[in-house]
């Protein structure tokens, strides 16, 4: 758990996503869907929260405020409809998500700096994070067209993802509270290690170019998504 948490937090620190995808994939082998999503939420909350803290000087607070309102709306909708996660839905949902990073975003003209677009990004971020556990690529397409550099993108995304994971933990609190004591202790020990991974990833982030950042992000997320999609489709057979 400790090694997985460190490496996945390192990836997230560099690319702003991918780490959470891999961590959830590991946890789905060990726990029921709701419990796995909740545990991943605790660790990712620490990882994203520390990443946001390390990059706090670059956070765009105006965009973050609008994003938060969108997350609140999606969380309320899922709560009212009593949403319950399903393993096959989670695998296929996450597996299809990388398609978003290959969309012609220049034609879509999505821009997180526009309030209406930021609100929609928040709704999708909260909805996807709670329903299938992750939402990185969903949020990313709203930041590609902005004039923000990679550090501002990472900082603002880390902030909204931290809040989305907090909403996810609250949503699955009943499942998380039933976790055996030994497992709960393991999670509490592993969670702070996410800070070390996030800090190491942040250091690497400062050394790569914006072009390399965007290119590598696409390929890493696509590779992870392919694994999810394959497993999800196999469950249909």
pLDDT in tens, 61-78: 999 999 999 999 999 999
Is the CB of residue 78 less than 8 Å from the CB of residue 127? yes
Is the CB of residue 167 less than 8 Å from the CB of residue 77? no
Question: Given this model, what pLDDT does residue 151 score?
Answer: 81
DSSP type of residue 172: T
Q: What is the pTM of this model?
A: 0.80
C-alpha closest to that of 110 among 101, 121, 102, 99: 121
Question: Given this model, what pLDDT does residue 65 score?
Answer: 94
Residues 6+ apart with CB under 8 A from 80: none
pLDDT digits (tens, 9 = 90+) for 96-137: 887 776 777 667 778 888 899 999 999 998 999 999 888 867
As for how many domains the chain has, the answer is 1
Instruction: Show the tokens assigned to 138.
Output: 């969903």
Write the DSSP string, 181-233. HHHHHHHHHHTTHHHHHHHHHHHHHTTS-HHHHHHHHHHHHHHHHHHHHHHHH
Q: What is the domain extent for residue 144?
A: 2-234
Q: How far apart are CA 199 and CA 157, in angstroms?
A: 16
DSSP type of residue 98: G
Please list the rounded mean pLDDT of every run of 10 residues in the chain (237 residues): 77 68 85 89 83 87 93 94 90 83 71 89 91 81 75 86 90 82 80 77 71 69 84 83
Let me know the angle formed at the C-alpha of 159 by 156 and 160, rounded to the nearest 5 degrees: 90
Question: Given this model, what pLDDT does residue 119 score?
Answer: 95
């Amino acid at each position: 758990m400790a090694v997985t948490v460190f490496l996945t937090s390192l990836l997230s620190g560099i690319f702003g996503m991918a780490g959470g995808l891999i961590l959830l994939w590991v946890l789905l082998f060990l726990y029921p869907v709701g419990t796995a999503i909740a545990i991943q939420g605790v660790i990712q909350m620490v990882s994203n929260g520390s990443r946001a803290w390390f990059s706090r000087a670059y956070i765009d607070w105006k965009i973050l405020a609008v994003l938060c309102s969108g997350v609140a709306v999606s969380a309320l909708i899922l709560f009212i409809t009593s949403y319950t996660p399903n393993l096959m839905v989670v695998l296929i949902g996450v597996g299809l998500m990388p398609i978003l990073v290959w969309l012609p975003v220049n034609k879509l003209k999505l821009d997180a700096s526009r309030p209406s677009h930021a609100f929609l990004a928040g709704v999708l971020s909260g909805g996807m994070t709670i329903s299938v556990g992750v939402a990185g690529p969903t949020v990313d397409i709203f930041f590609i067209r902005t004039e923000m550099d990679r550090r501002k993108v990472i900082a603002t995304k880390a902030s909204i993802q931290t809040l989305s994971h907090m909403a996810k933990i609250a949503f699955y609190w009943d499942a998380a509270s039933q976790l055996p004591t030994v497992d709960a202790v393991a999670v509490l020990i592993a969670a702070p290690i996410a800070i070390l991974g996030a800090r190491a990833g942040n250091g690497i982030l400062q050394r790569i170019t914006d072009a390399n950042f965007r290119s590598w992000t696409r390929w890493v997320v696509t590779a992870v998504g392919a694994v999810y999609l394959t497993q999800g489709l196999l469950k249909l057979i």
